[in-house]
Amino acid sequence: MLCEVLNINTKIIGNVATDDLLAESLFHEDLTNDDVKDRIAGLRRGEWVVQLPSTGFHKQKPEILTLQSLPIPPGHNAGQFNVASLADKTRERSRDRHCVSRTHDAIDSGSGVNTVSSEDDEQDDNKEDKEDEDSIQNKDEYSVEHDNFLRMVYDALTDGVTGYHIKDSMKELPRSDKTADLIEWDALEKFELGNRQAYYWPTEKAGDIVDKTLAPHTGGEYGAESPEHRVGVLLIRAHYDKQGYETHIYHSPDDEETKFDLVAEPTKESLDDRRKIVEVETSPEKKRHVVDDSLKLAGEDGDAIWVVKNNDGMNKLLSSLTDQIGYVESSRTQSFEKTSEMLDEDGIQRIYGINKLRDELDEM
CATH code of the domain in which 205 resides:
1.10.10
Look at 337 and 134; give whichever has higher pLDDT.
Answer: 337
The pLDDT score that the predictor gives to residue 324 is 83
Residue type, 18: T
Task: Indicate the angle between helix axes 287-298 and 311-320, nearest 10 degrees.
Answer: 80
% of the chain at pLDDT higher than 90: 37
Same domain, 204 and 272: no
Domain boundary, last residue among 184, 210, 236 = 210
Q: 196 and 274, same structural domain?
A: no
Beta partners for residue 2, in sequence order: 13
Residue 44 belongs to a domain = yes
Residue 297 located in a structural domain: yes
pLDDT value, residue 111: 46
329, pLDDT greater than 90: no
Total residues belonging to the chain: 364
User: Do 279 and 194 lie in a common domain?
Assistant: no
Residue 19 lies in a domain: yes
**Residue 42 banded pLDDT, cuts 50, 70, 90:** confident
221 belongs to a structural domain: no
Shared domain check, 358 and 252: yes
Strands 276-280 and 303-308: parallel
Q: Which helix (H) or strand (E) holds 143?
A: none
Say yes or no: 348 and 315 in one domain: yes
pLDDT value at residue 342: 86
Q: Structural domain of residue 173, as residue ranges?
A: 144-210
217-237: average pLDDT? 79
> Are 245 and 348 members of one domain?
yes
Count of domains for the chain: 3
Q: Which of 78-82, 153-157, 265-269 has the lowest mean pLDDT?
A: 78-82
Residue 255 included in any domain = yes
Among the ranges given (34-38, 281-285, 313-317), the one the predictor scored with the smallest mean pLDDT: 34-38
Domain boundary pick from 68, 96, 113: 68
**Per-residue pLDDT, 102:** 57
Q: What is the pLDDT of residues 83-133, one digit of tens each?
A: 555 666 667 666 666 676 655 555 554 544 444 455 555 555 555 545 544
Residue where one domain finishes, among candidates 185, 210, 235: 210
- Indicate the pLDDT class of residue 353, thresholds 50, 70 and 90: very high
List all residues 6 or more positions away from 258 whose beta carbon is below 8 Å from its beta carbon: 252, 296
Mean pLDDT of 64-76: 64
For residues 292 and 178, membership in a common domain is answered with no
Alpha carbons 316 and 359: distance in angstroms, whole number: 22
- The answer to the question of residue 237 being in a domain is yes
What mean pLDDT comes out for the span 251-255?
A: 76
The verdict on residue 176 lying in a domain is yes
| 103 or 345, which is more confident | 345
Residues 151 and 240 in one domain: no
pLDDT band at 141 (very low <50, low <70, confident <90, very high): confident
Q: Are residues 250 and 197 in the same domain?
A: no
The answer to whether residue 139 is domain-embedded is no
Residues 204 and 274 in one domain: no
pLDDT digits over 172-197, tens only? Answer: 999 999 999 999 999 999 999 888 88
> Are 326 and 356 contained in the same domain?
yes
E strand segments, the chain: 2-5, 10-13, 47-51, 65-68, 107-108, 113-114, 188-193, 197-202, 246-251, 260-265, 276-280, 303-308, 350-353
Q: What percent of the chain has pLDDT over 70?
A: 60
Task: Kindly give the interhelix angle for 354-363 and 227-242, rounded to the nearest 10 degrees.
Answer: 40
Report pLDDT digits (tens) over 269-295: 999 999 999 999 999 999 999 999 999
Average of per-residue pLDDT values in the chain: 77
The CATH number assigned to the domain holding 326 equals 3.40.1350
Whether 281 and 169 share a structural domain: no
Quick one: pLDDT at residue 173?
A: 94
Task: Check residue 346 and give its pLDDT.
Answer: 87
Confidence of residue 39 (pLDDT cuts 50, 70, 90): confident
Confidence at residue 20, expressed as pLDDT on a 0 to 100 scale: 61
